Amino acid sequence: MTCITPVRFVLFTIRLQSYISEVARTGFLVFRVNPELRRDIQQIADEEQRTITQVCEMLLHEGVEAYKKEGPKFMQLLVAKQKARVKDS
């Protein structure tokens, strides 16, 4: 009688801390962006060989960390920049 034992091969595992969360997501954010911004994000993703989701997650993470550090001042600066962009358009 032959006994077949399942064998699992693992070459190596490297655990890196990064902005990219585990594969299993626990929530979703869905929002609209203008086509030019989406193209810019897609270009970044292509150049960095990442997905749009990964790039957006990194950018959002950095924005949240900056807000935690600087508080409302950070948001006021973003709003002022956005108003200037709209005015120049």
At 24-57, the pLDDT tens digits run 567 788 889 999 999 999 999 999 999 999 999 9
In a domain, 26, yes or no: no
- Separation of alpha carbons 77 and 86, rounded Å: 14
pLDDT of residue 89: 74
In a domain, 6, yes or no: no
- Separation of alpha carbons 34 and 47, rounded Å: 20
Query: pTM, whole model, 2 decimals?
Result: 0.65
**Mean residue pLDDT across the chain:** 81
Number of structural domains the chain divides into: 1
* pLDDT band at residue 2 using 50, 70 and 90 as cut-offs: low
At 49-76, the pLDDT tens digits run 999 999 999 999 999 999 999 999 999 9
- Domain range for 73 is 36-88
Is the per-residue pLDDT at 4 higher than 90? no
